[in-house]
Structure 1
Amino acid sequence: MTDRQRYLFGDLLRQWRMSRRVPQLELASAADVSARHLSFLETGRSAPSRTMVLKLADHLDVPLRERNQLLLAAGFAPTYGESSLEGERMTMVRSALRQVLAATEPYPALAVDRHWNLVDANAAVAAFTRDAPEDLLVSPFNVLKFSLDPRGLGGRIINLGQWRTHLFERLDRQIRVTGDPQLTSLLAELKAFPAPDTDEEDAQMSGDVAVYMRLRADDQELSFLSTVTTFGTPLDVTVDELSVESFYPADDKTAEYLRRLLP
């Protein structure tokens, strides 16, 4: 391991520890090393073993893509593969994904990657995409951009201010977790979309238990509560970055509308 690699690893480790707000002593205890040794790792005075890199990354809950970066910075080969979702190795993952999406019908559900690009969706997502301009539906289809674009879902969401704030908070948390600059750029793009006055929406929200998406459809107001599902204990970067967002009806009127939407 070269001096440059030690310093690079140490800088990355310190950045992750500080972003997680973990004291040096706490991390040292979790890794079963002295605080002095951890300090030497962060300053480049000591070189870590592969086991130590993975142990520190695990305690700091570093995403798999960034764990590979830590390993490379320390002079080791990446541990976690990044498979194409269409490859043979991912057959079971694709099958599980489609079962989850199909089981959610007649309610909308979609799978996205780390950057919120659409991976797959069930037929009920037509409740969101119907009547949208064709140029908004081309690949890569970014669901966050579509949801705030006035020509997309943004033109139909009644409580757009609330939903916009909700999405920004979620994306900001994801940026803090991953440190991904592409997500930072995405957040800047989203903030460029028109922002409505939220005073009236905030008043309507006072008795709610969660943020609902209230959507205009066929002269009706639909109300959705979203949930997010991820794969447990992933060992592949692609799987680690997949998530499924399902939209369940928040009232009987919405449930009935969705049941009538699918044949």
Structure 2
Amino acid sequence: MAALAPDTAVGPLLRDWRRQRRVSQLELALRADSSARHISFIETGRSRPSEEMVLRLAEHLDVPVRERNVLLLAAGYAPRFTETALDDPAMDALREGLGQLLRGYEPYPAVVVDGTYTVVAANRGIALLMEGLPEKLLAPPLNAMRITLHPEGLAPRIRNLPEWRGHLLEQMGRQLALSRSPALRELYEEVAAYPLPAPRPGAARTEAAAHANGPAAMPGFALPMRIEHDGHVLSFVSSISTFNTPMDVTVAELAVETFLPADPATVKYLTSVLP
């Protein structure tokens, strides 16, 4: 069989994903119940993989759902995974379920974002933290990373901004290593270039005191985000959840981030202002 065009062939694309995942041809073959020789033939264009083989290799290489459609197209097959808009009636049950989840988590903050951190839904806890932000940052579409790290956004309110900023940029870096999203790369370069706000007077002394106060102020089990609101310093640790075995590109790229209070003072404050 003649080799496929190198720019569009599925073989080079699969080879790139394999190398990115640092998996040898032999290891991939063992995972996919194939042979290293067959994997080599696919990658060089000497063999055209079946639709099932493309999906099997993509699964074992942890290729994002959106990119699996790209691989199928490159191999000459129709895309397998739909991409349904969230406002489509077919997504009614999903939207309602996410809404119930966010409301049920109140008064603690929770937000749903897509693959480029565009805010899909948020609860009153998130709205509380965003109070007083400039309109230009709150104009749709809201972007969670931009709102958090912009020098006119939440950044000046975050007491441990260098650590939290480093955590967020590292998180985005891991995502970029797993996907090939130009939009995400553009966002990363934008927010990474934001200047750090000038330190507040006495900020260093305040942070030193927080560290000295022990676990109640700085939990040892996870990096907290310590953020000011109306004269109070709230402390949160975050958790991110995604959908298991998504069959739709839109759903595959959704993530729910919840912020768990890291000290009793944060619990008391939130329950008092968001009953």
- Superposition TM-score tier, normalisation by shorter sequence: over 0.9
Query: C-alpha separation between the residues in 2 aligned to 1:77 and 1:136?
Result: 39
Match of 2:267 in 1: 255
The correspondence for 2:244, drawn from 232, 235, 242, is 232
Residue 4 of structure 1 aligns to a residue whose secondary structure is coil
Give 1:237 deviation, angstroms: 0.5
Query: C-alpha separation between the residues in 2 aligned to 1:108 and 1:234?
Result: 25
Q: Does 1:218 align with 2:230?
A: yes
Instruction: Describe the superposition over 1:61-81 as per-residue Cα deviations: whole angstroms up to 9, x where unpaired.
Output: 111100000001111110000
Match of 2:188 in 1: 187
Give 1:33 deviation, angstroms: 1.7
Match of 1:19 in 2: 20
RMSD over aligned Cα atoms? 2.2
- 1:1-263 counterparts in 2 under 5 A? 3-4=4-5, 8-195=9-196, 204=211, 208-263=220-275
Query: C-alpha separation between the residues in 2 aligned to 1:177 and 1:197?
Result: 34
| Structure 1 residues 250 and 3, CA gap change in structure 2 (3 angstroms) | same
Identical aligned residues as a percent:
49
Give 1:5 deviation, angstroms: 7.0
Query: C-alpha separation between the residues in 2 aligned to 1:88 and 1:241?
Result: 19
Give 1:114 deviation, angstroms: 0.4
Query: C-alpha separation between the residues in 2 aligned to 1:185 and 1:16?
Result: 21
For structure 2, list consecutive stretches of 5 or more residues without a partner in the other structure: none
| Structure 1 residues 2 and 42, CA gap change in structure 2 (3 angstroms) | closer
What TM-score do you get using the length of structure 2 for normalisation? Answer: 0.89
Q: Which residue identity does 2:271 align to in structure 1?
A: R
Number of aligned pairs?
Answer: 262
Query: C-alpha separation between the residues in 2 aligned to 1:145 and 1:2?
Result: 44
Query: C-alpha separation between the residues in 2 aligned to 1:32 and 1:259?
Result: 54
Query: C-alpha separation between the residues in 2 aligned to 1:33 and 1:260?
Result: 60
Query: C-alpha separation between the residues in 1 aligned to 2:74 and 2:259?
Result: 40
| Most deviating of 168-177 and 92-101 | 92-101
Query: C-alpha separation between the residues in 1 aligned to 2:67 and 2:183?
Result: 14
What TM-score do you get using the length of structure 1 for normalisation? Answer: 0.93
Give 1:7 deviation, angstroms: 6.1
Query: C-alpha separation between the residues in 1 aligned to 2:73 and 2:59?
Result: 16
**Contact conserved, 1:136 with 1:152, CA < 8 A, in 2?**
yes
Instruction: Describe the superposition over 1:196-230 as per-residue Cα deviations: whole angstroms up to 9, x where unpaired.
Output: 699x6799499732110000112221101111111
Instruction: Describe the superposition over 1:69-103 as per-residue Cα deviations: whole angstroms up to 9, x where unpaired.
Output: 00011111100000011111111111111111111
Give 1:36 deviation, angstroms: 0.8
Q: Which residue identity does 1:83 align to in structure 2?
A: T
**Contact conserved, 2:156 with 2:197, CA < 8 A, in 1?**
no
Q: Which residue identity does 2:56 align to in structure 1?
A: K
Query: C-alpha separation between the residues in 1 aligned to 2:171 and 2:121?
Result: 21
Larger fraction in helix = 1
Give 1:2 deviation, angstroms: 7.2
